[in-house]
Amino acid sequence: MKVVIIGGVAGGATAAARIRRLDEQAEIVVFERSGFISYANCGLPYYIGGTIENKNALTLQTPESFLKRFRVKMNVHHEVTAIHPESKTVTVKDLENGKTFTENYDKLLLSPGAKPIRPNLDGIDSNRIFTLRTVEDTLRIKKFIDEHYTESAVVVGGGFIGIEAAENLRALGINVTLVEASNQLMAPFDGDMASFIHAEIRKSGINLMLDTMVEDFADDDFGLDIKLKNSSALRTDMVVMAIGVSPETTLAKDAGLETGIKGSIVVNDKMETSVPDIYAVGDAVQIKNFVTDADTLISLAGPANKQGRIAADNIFGGDSRYTGGQGSSVIKIFDMTAAATGINEKTAKSLGIATDKVILSPMSHAGYYPGGKMMTMKVLFEKETYRLLGAQIVGFEGVDKRIDVLATAIRAGMKAYELTELDLAYAPPYSSAKDPVNMAGYIIENIKNGIVKQWYYEDDETLPRDGSITLLDTRTPVEYSMGHAEGFINIPVDEMRERIDELDKDKPVYIMCQSGLRSYIASRILIGNGFDAYNFTGGFRYYAAVHSDRALSKKSTPCGMDD
């Protein structure tokens, strides 16, 4: 059997290696438009910043090493320009000599990936404006910085690539402005959780501009002017455009393959396209969201590699199935780690899913063991059914392992309250006897059993401050004096029973503490004494972070790099 693969990075390279392991006699031919195969897209920003010092480390395999190990011909600088399903051939152009030829196949696998979005703006073709998707892109950026005096840079787009590019440019001592059109960075996160990301970005010396649209560019010999909508212009030495990617599917469309969201290739769970003997994987394909079963696009390396393996199995008569993606992801943001899996709250609401949530701020390991770091967790679940929908975590240690546990729980179909049952490893340097994931489960179990009633940050603006309800802060007087929510009186939890007569039993009590634990204890004391009490999910630490971020975002103006 002869298998032709278009694209030799994540999905394509994985499929080629898997096919060889399944069939030593198969003829496998790969065409890759760039000059590199099997490279680590996710590592590209870190070469620019100097964390990865050797550019050769970015490529997991070379055409030579792949041929030696797998006997697969990796044809780099070869672009497939047309697919002919009726004759089972493809037209290929050798980009080094310009010659065109035809290659036949028995099975064809498409792994063309996605391309960076470049908006049709005046000046977008300036040689000071870059995208970051391939090794060649990375080398161009590195070369520009090395050869030009680069004092300032603007990154447009606040997703994974944008934030990683901003961090690594800042690591070089460059003054960086990060411009994002929406009101928050990192779309997989809800706005409240993104507040912690914004704080880390600002703390690290990056000028953050949210709700800001780029209108056009104009360059000269000395720099680049960026015109912004509803904001002052910026003057900078270079720009990295990172506003997202779109599926690279021109070939598929021209060949008559069925397409879906944003022109992506429609495949079934065996990665088969609408045309017999043609498969597709990676960023170019439309898949099912595991949580919602809705059609979606997920541009991540993990799904692409899984799909490549599944397609290879099925090409050789197997019955492997891709059951959908849940967007599990993690990102380093200077000293912080942020991770997410499943869907977020705004997505759930847009789909009409009745959703509840818990927000907690546990330590990364036992509090009595030195070096523990606080993290903030948000776990979403469906009301009534308690089906786990998603989770978001921001913190400085232990974030990745907790998100992986929650991702596994979602995949396993666990109920949110069943997180209490997970038997997770514990030793003081690594966790607590009640792991943060278990703690989320205990809170949800309390909600299910009616032991606790919650109130949320979005309720704050509508809470009456006219004395008709009691607003209670149960932290210590010192903590309270350092900052508290408007209208809240202070009675420390350890004085609650002695001072309970200060509260009116006929009024609902809305309670807050630093993390949510002391306020929960206070709520149980009050409920046990006949009060109607509500515990604030997240605690004042979370409240203050969100409140501060929204205040800063409202009054933020361009600074540091204005013309």
Long-range contact pairs involving 472-481 (C-beta distance under 8 Å, separation at least 24): 472/503, 472/509, 472/510, 472/511, 472/512, 472/519, 472/522, 473/511, 473/512, 473/513, 473/540, 474/511, 474/512, 474/513, 474/518, 474/519, 474/521, 474/522, 475/513, 475/514, 475/518, 475/540, 479/514, 479/540
**CA quadruple 144, 145, 149, 151: dihedral positive or negative?**
positive
Residue 193's identity, in one-letter code, is M
What six digits make up the tokens of 326? Answer: 């849940």
What six digits make up the tokens of 422? Answer: 């997970």
Helix (H) or strand (E) holding 44: helix 44-48
By CB atoms closer than 10 A (0-12, 13-18, 19+), residue 261 is: middle
Active-site residue flag, 513:
no
3-state SS, residue 491: coil
Q: How far apart are CA 531 and CA 504, in angstroms?
A: 8
Q: How far apart are CA 410 and CA 408, in angstroms?
A: 5
Residue 5 — φ and ψ, nearest 5°?
Answer: -120, 130
Q: Which of 23, 27, 35, 42 is catalytic?
A: 42
What six digits make up the tokens of 232? Answer: 């002052």
Q: How far apart are CA 544 and CA 66, in angstroms?
A: 53
CB atoms within 10 A of CB 1: 13
Residue 421's identity, in one-letter code, is E
Compute the half-sphere exposure of residue 515: CA atoms within 13 Å on the CB side of its CA: 14
The answer to whether the CB of 400 falls within 8 A of the CB of 337 is: yes
Q: In what order do the strands lie in the sheet with 78-84?
A: 78-84, 89-94, 100-104
What six digits make up the tokens of 245? Answer: 């990617």
Q: What is the DSSP string of 47-83?
A: HHTTSS--GGGGBS--HHHHHHHH--EEEETEEEEEE
Residue 239's identity, in one-letter code, is V
Non-local (6+) Cβ contacts of 110 within 8 A are 6, 7, 251, 252, 265, 273, 278, 279, 280, 281, 284
By CB atoms closer than 10 A (0-12, 13-18, 19+), residue 21 is: exposed
The answer to whether the CB of 513 falls within 8 A of the CB of 488 is: no
What is the chain's alpha carbon radius of gyration, rounded to the nearest angstrom?
27
Non-local (6+) Cβ contacts of 525 within 8 A are 493, 496, 497, 500
Residue 377 — φ and ψ, nearest 5°?
Answer: -120, 140
3-state SS, residue 11: helix
* Catalytic residue annotation: 42
